[in-house]
Structure 1
Amino acid sequence: MIVIQILLILAVLLGLLLFLRHHGKSKTAASVKVGFALFLIFAVIAVLDPNLLTDVAHFVGVGRGTDLVLYAFIVAFGFATINTYLRFKELEFRYAKLVRAVAIQNRQLPEDGEGEPEPEQRS
């Protein structure tokens, strides 16, 4: 039992290390950072004292602690999916705006009257 606790805590700490290492490179909202930090704290507590997790599950009306973890993961997955979708939509909008600006900046005018209507000739 002690080995799995050590492995799980190391996994949580590795996740924290990766998060802190890359947090400056992405524009993550403060609420997402706080939520992630709370999740990591919850994970360490759940690994160290699984009975506490069962007690919390009973307190909120769930039969087992593992069911509570499953429900929490479902909610977290839904949040992550929506967050990713919105982030991609924002990036798509920004790229479209950039492409428009580059297209306007690099527009090419017709050479030697190509593409322009010919003037009417008078007899």
Structure 2
Amino acid sequence: MIQLFLLIGIVGIAAWLFVNRGAKQLAVRRLLLVAFTVFAVLAVLFPTLVTGVAHLVGVGRGADLLLYLTVVVLLGSLALQEARTKSAEVRTTYLARRIAIDESEPPVQYRERVLGDRSR
């Protein structure tokens, strides 16, 4: 029963990521997502296979291997998100500066407005 819930959760999350990422998502990210999804499904359906892979790479249990891989994926996701956030901040700063320059009052008009107010 737990396998069914885990499979539904894994496939649901993978589908949600595909739908919400949009057309700009790189093919490499999609391939990695597919590979992760296949690995997760195999881990749920065949837990002894994961334990066998864990023993091959020198980890005692399959659950430990899954934990280690999850930590690596999480850290990679955090690094990617940090890079995206910094890029968005740079773009936002550029756009704010560009709008401020475009909407600024020309110096001649400013002088006329300021000096005109003083002469009254």
Runs (4 or more) in structure 1 with deviation over 6 Å come to none
* Structure 2 match to 1:41: 38
Q: Which of 54, 76, 84 is 2:51 aligned to? A: 54
Q: Which of 51, 61, 67 is 2:64 aligned to? A: 67
Q: CA deviation at 1:29?
A: 2.8
**What is the aligned-residue identity percentage?**
34
Give the unaligned 5+ runs of structure 1: 116-123
Q: Name whichever structure is richer in helix by fraction.
A: 2
- TM-score, scaled to structure 2: 0.86
Amino acid at match of 1:55: G
- TM-score, scaled to structure 1: 0.84
Distance 2:113 2:15 in 1: 62
* Structure 2 match to 1:100: 97
* Structure 1 match to 2:118: none
* Structure 1 match to 2:80: 83
Give the unaligned 5+ runs of structure 2: 116-120
* Structure 1 match to 2:15: 17
Cα-Cα RMSD: 1.5
State the number of aligned residues. 112
* Structure 2 match to 1:112: 112
SS in 1 for 2:50: helix
SS in 2 for 1:108: coil
